[in-house]
Amino acid sequence: MVFSSLFFLYAFLPVCLICYGLSPSGYKSHTRIVIKNVVLTVFSVLFYAWGEPVYVFMMLGSVLVNYLLGLGVSKTQKTNHPKLGKLLFILGLFFNIGLLVVFKYSGFIAENLNRIPGVSLPVPDLALPIGISFYTFQILSYQIDLYWEKIKVQRNPLYLLLYISMFPQLIAGPIVRYSTIEAEIHSRRVTLTDLSDGFTRLIIGLAKKVVLANHLSTIVDQFFKDGSGQISVAGTWYAVIVYAMQVYFDFSGYSDMAIGMGRMLGFHFDENFRHPFMCKDIAEFWQRWHISLGTFFRDYLLYVPIFGKRRKYGGLFLVWFCTGLWHGANWNFIIWGLYFGLFILFEQMLGKKRMKKIPLVIRHIYSKIVIVIGFGIFYFEDLGKLGTFFRSLVKLNDNPWFDEVTGLSMQNNLFLLIAAVICCFPVYDSIMKLREKHAGAGYAVGVFQTVTNAVLLALSSILLVDATNNPFLYFRF
């Protein structure tokens, strides 16, 4: 089941919200929360089982194992048995990372080992459980923070299951830390403002996906689906820029919908995107792009001792290697991660003071060129086609500088491209700030918000009528 489907929007979500809202309140707030948590957990498991009827049992088993390990780690902390606690913690790491390796990377590992002379291993062909990269990292963050005593153990298995399986963020993030919603799992309330702002965020995310990302993808397919050897230099740059915007609107659209639905249910997830194309350098780009993943690796991996010591450059390499590998079991993703890691290293060695002395225009041009080329690396999983792409960027394929197909595409999609560029800027944020600053503008902004929501929902619904398959890009990660 995907968010950008008519069944989800007009059947699953409304029924869930109605059942959640009408859940018996009981005589105490604790009773009310328990019932609401049960309702939300049931709908979350149903949501996952709808698309993954077999792997839902693996997720449930993973939650149970981590629940028991968490209790064990907590007990060793209270009884002062640090060695046993460390052992249980390491077992948890091996269990969770092991599941991810088996299902996501075993085929990739076997294929590469088979390139060694004399090695002939069977290559597993396992289906990748949807969302395993995201919910595994959430479980890991729970176990690590528990071991570091940053959070308290969750003694109610239902509540831990709710944290892992909550359907708004289950499939494609954001990666929500347990500490972020720990208090809200036990006590929360939903106001009219939560419902209004959450619904608006949901509709914005839906429009990003259906109106912008899906239509930008048709342009990308036209130029890149069969490789990039015959495309002009201008066409190659044009297509990869469009692809960068497609990925942004697709993934940030999902994050918006997740944050919006979480808000409607009383949860406040952290932001996952902050208009990344407004960055002035690569370090800032990664402070704005997929924030939950970046902060995960920063907090849990960057300062991990390597051979007994914290090594600055070794930690940096490890972070960007893992960032690339997390996105997929293919060499292009590893190259993509290390590519950005090299520019982060370059900027660190140059220093913030020297970076600020560079004219702002130059910094913007530099960062955008690096970013869009990075998205080209991200797109081409075939290394041969990736090489062709690089040559097409600089006219090494005997391709022309410009071609008629590129010109016609730009002309026919002019309004779509203008809308996409405008939406890369904080338009919604500016409107909300206007409402906060000027009390008199509140009513007008409210009317504008309502009308815009209705228009975007209607337009998205119309575009979804004939859509047969409408997955988000990050479902495959």
Q: Cite the active site residues.
A: 327
Written as six digits, the tokens of 307 are 């051979």
| Of the candidates 174, 142, 153, 167, the residue with the CA atom closest to the CA atom of residue 39 | 167
The answer to whether the CB of 472 falls within 8 A of the CB of 321 is: no
The shares of helix, strand and coil residues in the chain, as percent rounded to the nearest 5, are: 75, 0, 25
The answer to whether the CB of 272 falls within 8 A of the CB of 252 is: yes
Residue 424 Cα to chain centre, angstroms: 17
Residue with structure tokens 């088996």?
102
Give the span between the Cα atoms of 256 and 203, in whole angstroms: 8
Residue 119, SS3 per DSSP: coil
What angle (nearest 5°) sits at the alpha carbon of residue 331, between those of residues 56 and 370? 110
Give the span between the Cα atoms of 38 and 104, in whole angstroms: 31
Give the span between the Cα atoms of 251 and 247, in whole angstroms: 6
Give the per-residue SS3 of 360-379.
Answer: HHHHHHHHHHHHHHHHHHHH
Give the span between the Cα atoms of 457 and 453, in whole angstroms: 6
What is the dihedral sign for C-alpha 70, 106, 334, 377?
Answer: negative
| Of the candidates 406, 414, 408, 387, the residue with the CA atom closest to the CA atom of residue 232 | 406
The answer to whether the CB of 227 falls within 8 A of the CB of 388 is: yes
The answer to whether the CB of 252 falls within 8 A of the CB of 258 is: no
Phi, psi at 438, each rounded to 5°: -115, 105
Written as six digits, the tokens of 254 are 């999902």
DSSP 268: -
For the beta carbon of residue 89, count every other beta carbon within 10 angstroms.
20
